[in-house]
Amino acid sequence: MIDIRAPEERDIQALTELVNCPGVRWGADRLPCTPRSWVEAQVMRQDANAHPIVAEVEGRAIGWAALRQKPGRSRHVGSLGISVHDDFQGRGIGRAMTAALIDLADNWLGLTRLELSVFTDNDPAISLYRAFGFVIEGTSRAVFLRDGQLIDSHLMGRLKPEQQQKSTA
């Protein structure tokens, strides 16, 4: 049973463990040895344009994700970031969090465009995002260092369904 809810102070330890998982580091823009204090600052920060969630399984936060609304002339755009603890991969947790953030974007915030970036070899994540209507809009070359090499990242975007026919691309 997956519970999606807001991050709370009591999740800081579990989320520190999550961001330091080798698999999370592999798939996200994270460095080794992220301290608890960094996670605490993220969890405690109040930002009207950031909408973070956690996924809880058996009383423990094992997924962490956020929707961030952009400023100014891109107020209609939200960017997504999603991480799942290594030991809980393949159980639909990323899917549940993605669905929750898309519901937030479509039905609560009324955002027109969602975007995210994903490393080009992260096939499970790319398939998941495609299933939610994201398409690859481009590929930034040599944009992140991973295991000592510069790797590419796809830019994926999803327009709110009724906007699709208005798109130029």
Partner 1 sequence: MPYTGEAFMLKRLSEPSPNVHQLVAAWDGLAVGMGSLMLGMGRRRHSGDIFLFIHDDYWGRGIGRALLGALLDLADNWYGLSRIGLEASPSNDRAIALYETHGFVREGLKRADVILEGQLEDSVVMGRIRLAPAPAEGDPT
Amino acid, single-letter form, for residue 74: S
22 contacts partner 1 (rule: CB under 8 A): no
140 contacts partner 1 (rule: CB under 8 A): yes
6 contacts partner 1 (rule: CB under 8 A): no
Which of 3, 8, 29, 47 binds partner 1 (CB under 8 A)? It is 29
Nearer CB in complex with partner 1: 22/72: 72
Which of 72, 90, 110, 161 binds partner 1 (CB under 8 A)? It is 72
* Spatial distance between the Cα atoms of 161 and 165, rounded to a whole number of angstroms: 8
Stretch that binds partner 1, among 56-64, 98-106, 121-129, 155-163 (CB under 8 A): 155-163
Give the distance, in angstroms, between the CA of residue 126 and the centroid of all CA atoms in the same chain. 12
Does the CA dihedral 144-146-150-154 come out positive or negative?
A: negative
115 contacts partner 1 (rule: CB under 8 A): yes
Min CB(104)–partner 1 separation in Å: 18
Instruction: Evaluate whether 62 touches 85 at the Cβ level (below 8 Å).
Output: yes
Residue 137 CB neighbours (<10 A)? 12
Write the DSSP string, 80-119.
EEEEE-GGGTTSSHHHHHHHHHHHIIIIII--SEEEEEEE
Q: Which residues bind partner 1 (CB under 8 A)?
A: 29-31, 72-74, 76-77, 112-113, 115, 137-146, 150, 155, 157, 159, 163, 166-169
